[in-house]
Amino acid sequence: MVEISIDKPTGGDTPLRHFKGTLAPDKELQEERQTKDGSRKYVVVNFNFLDLEVIDSVEPFPFPIALVTIGYAPPKVSRGSTKWEAFSASLRKLMPDNPDIELLKGKRQEWKMENRSLRRGLTDEETGQPVLDGNNNQIWGDVPTLCWTVVSVEGLGSVQEADDDFNAYLVALADGKTEPKFYEVALTDSKVMSRPNIVEAIIGRKLLDTLKEMNLLTRDAEGILHALPAQPEVTGEVPAAEPSA
């Protein structure tokens, strides 16, 4: 029988899901903690926000301040697929050359929780118990997980702008090349290699298809890739399409 508890939930540190706020300029970000039994130390990063503007929350949040805590996974020992990697990946888009988390201090910024596919031990949705294989080992798989991501930062721009700029860079890199030549060049390009998700899309042969679906790139009959001109923005009312005969 499960022991019923009224302790504070530990599944999340805040009901916030989307907000704007100014990161406190004088607060230390790093905090070292240890497990309850004292057997292991670990690090979390605490983000203290001021002048909060709530955009979305799972419950009313009438406070002008907020604390968001993310567990830290050192890049040299982490295999990725962590909440920290989901957060830092969004931040690297805004600081591709000299990423420095301290640059967030004192700046107005927008954060949002988004689903990312993280590798996790699978649990039964009804019982919450681990899903085990025939050898009584927990089965692991990719699980959609809510993770904090940075949407925009004052003075650094937005992730959407950074993504658009990078897509334009990829298209310029591909323009006039065959698919094999593009892959050869892309996988030796420092900007491309700094984005693991792009490298994964290249290895999986998905990147060019995505760029073509976005109407940014096309391929001619000889297999040469060509950049497509930017599509003009539509303003005003869009006329309804005539029904087909």
Contact 172, 217 (CB under 8 A): no
In this prediction, residue 148 carries a pLDDT of: 95
Cα 2 to Cα 12, 117, 174, distances in angstroms: 21, 30, 58
Helix boundaries (H) for the chain = 83-94, 159-174, 179-186, 190-193, 196-203, 207-213
Q: CA–CA separation, 173 vs 138, rounded Å?
A: 43
Residue 125, classed as helix, strand or coil, is: coil
In this prediction, residue 17 carries a pLDDT of: 95
Q: CA quadruple 96, 101, 107, 110: dihedral positive or negative?
A: positive
From first to last of its 245 residues, the chain has per-residue pLDDT tens of 445 444 444 445 689 999 999 999 999 999 998 888 888 888 999 999 999 999 999 999 999 999 999 998 887 776 667 889 889 888 888 887 777 899 999 999 999 999 887 776 667 777 767 777 777 777 777 778 899 999 999 999 998 888 888 889 999 999 999 999 999 999 999 888 878 778 888 888 889 898 999 899 999 999 999 999 866 554 445 444 444 43
Q: CA quadruple 48, 52, 54, 60: dihedral positive or negative?
A: positive
DSSP state of 209: H
Q: CA–CA separation, 163 vs 183, rounded Å?
A: 19
Q: CA–CA separation, 219 vs 226, rounded Å?
A: 6
- The structure tokens 């118990």 sit at 129
Residue 62, classed as helix, strand or coil, is: coil
The pTM of this model reads 0.69
Q: CA–CA separation, 146 vs 112, rounded Å?
A: 10
* Beta strand ranges found along the chain (DSSP E): 16-23, 30-34, 41-57, 66-71, 108-121, 140-153, 157-158, 217-219, 225-227
Q: Of 236, 240, 238, 220, which Cα lies nearest the Cα of 228? A: 220
In this prediction, residue 4 carries a pLDDT of: 47
Q: CA–CA separation, 90 vs 97, rounded Å?
A: 14
In this prediction, residue 79 carries a pLDDT of: 67
Per-residue pLDDT of 161-211, as tens digits, reads 888 888 899 999 999 999 999 999 999 998 888 787 788 888 888 898 989
Structure tokens at 14: 């805040």
Structure tokens at 27: 């607060």
CA 109 to chain centre: 15
